[in-house]
């Protein structure tokens, strides 16, 4: 097809025409809203590096979840900030832990909202790493049991889905086995399969108080230059029983989302992470760009790359913009 016989601009002449031939359509059903749970009453602590996001006590968490659900957002993912931490991340798998309490209360008030829980130890360990530490080394195999115990405690509290984000080898299989053995075989696992050791996580670590106290996470999170390895990670998680495969971060890893979408015949999720959110919000506050347009363009790009689900702090703002 060559000019002048083919004129692509013919189908761009009006908003109605553009909508009729649009290849990628962003929908509120694509979104999962991350929330940060803390103990206490009437707690709503602003997260400075993430304008519009808060650490929330349970009653405020429920209110925020209700607002999201009323906009059509189908799911939230919960992160917990405990009052105390220890070397083994004990608060992560206690029956009365902050996430376990939050799950019970949210499901009581919003039974139709899909409640996903992040399964990791970093928010609960006093050293800030995602696994058990032995002589400054993260012990992969010793961590698996604790991750499985955490996932089981979340599901026993009523979680609809668990999402292991630790990047320990073999954790999906361990969690799947423990859930199945305890009668929770219908509960799906959304695996953080290609989670990169990224500088984009900075604001989240402030929000979740989860920065490592020594070293970094390069020995377990993926090396950013690697792409083929992401496919191997995803395939391994599928073989271990994952139901949804996630790529994190999203915007700087659109090629990874695309490649996994081409290789894996399961739903693909992408996490539009805190740093991606914070940069847009900061530039918007400075008047350097149109924040809403950049938000929608970013989320559309993530979906266009192949994501079926998008975990994003923009979820409520995007839902409102799509309804306007």
Q: In Å, how far are 4, 6, 11, 90 from 118, measured between CA atoms?
A: 54, 50, 44, 15
Tokens of 226: 């690697």
In the chain, domain spans: 27-323
Task: Enumerate the active-site residues.
Answer: 195, 248
Q: How many Cα atoms sit within 13 Å of 284 on the Cβ side?
A: 15
pLDDT digits 0-9 by tens, 64-78: 999 999 999 999 999
**Does the pLDDT at position 14 exceed 80?**
yes
Taking the C-alpha atoms of residue 261 and residue 269, their distance in angstroms, rounded to an integer, is: 10
State mean pLDDT over 280-295.
Answer: 97
Task: Check: CB of residue 43 under 8 Å from CB of residue 102.
Answer: no
- CATH superfamily, with its number, for domain 27-323: Aldolase class I (3.20.20.70)
User: Which residues on neighbouring strands pair with residue 196, listed in sequence order?
Assistant: 222
> What is the model's pLDDT at position 127?
87
Task: Give Dmax over CA atoms of the chain in angstroms.
Answer: 70
pLDDT digits 0-9 by tens, 195-229: 999 999 989 878 777 778 777 888 899 999 999 99
Task: Check: CB of residue 116 under 8 Å from CB of residue 159.
Answer: yes
Taking the C-alpha atoms of residue 90 and residue 321, their distance in angstroms, rounded to an integer, is: 41
Prediction pTM value: 0.96
Q: Which residues in 194-221 are b (16+ Cβ under 10 Å) and which e? A: bbbebebbebbbbbbbbebeeeebeebb
Q: Residue 35's closest CA among 63, 11, 9, 4?
A: 63
């Amino acid at each position: 097809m060559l000019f002048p016989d083919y004129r692509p601009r013919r189908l761009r002449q009006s908003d109605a025409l553009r909508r009729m031939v649009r290849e990628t359509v962003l929908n509120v059903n694509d979104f999962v809203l991350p929330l940060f749970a803390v103990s206490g009453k009437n707690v709503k602590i602003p997260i400075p590096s993430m304008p519009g996001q808060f650490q929330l006590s349970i009653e405020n968490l429920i209110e925020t979840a209700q607002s999201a659900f009323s906009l059509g957002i189908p799911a939230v993912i919960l992160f917990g900030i405990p009052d105390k931490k220890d070397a083994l991340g004990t608060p992560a798998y206690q029956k009365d832990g902050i996430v376990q309490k939050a799950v019970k209360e949210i499901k009581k008030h919003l039974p139709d909202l899909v409640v996903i829980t992040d399964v990791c130890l970093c928010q609960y360990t006093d050293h800030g790493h995602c696994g058990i530490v032995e002589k400054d080394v993260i012990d992969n195999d010793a961590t698996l049991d604790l991750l499985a115990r955490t996932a089981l405690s979340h599901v026993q509290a009523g979680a609809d889905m668990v999402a292991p984000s630790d990047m320990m080898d073999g954790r999906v299989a361990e969690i799947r086995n423990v859930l199945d053995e305890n009668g929770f075989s219908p509960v799906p696992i959304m695996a953080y399969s290609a989670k990169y050791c990224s500088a984009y996580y900075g604001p989240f670590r402030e929000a979740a108080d989860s920065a490592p106290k020594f070293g970094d996470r390069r020995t377990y999170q993926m090396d950013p230059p690697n792409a083929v390895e992401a496919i191997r990670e995803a395939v391994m998680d599928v073989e271990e029983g994952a139901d949804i495969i996630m790529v994190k971060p999203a915007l700087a890893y659109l090629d990874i989302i695309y490649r996994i979408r081409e290789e894996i015949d399961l739903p693909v999720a992408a996490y539009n992470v805190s740093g991606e959110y914070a940069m847009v919000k900061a530039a918007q506050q400075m008047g350097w760009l149109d924040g809403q347009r950049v938000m929608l363009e970013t989320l559309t790009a993530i979906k266009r790359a192949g994501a079926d689900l998008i975990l994003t702090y923009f979820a409520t703002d995007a839902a409102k913009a799509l309804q306007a």
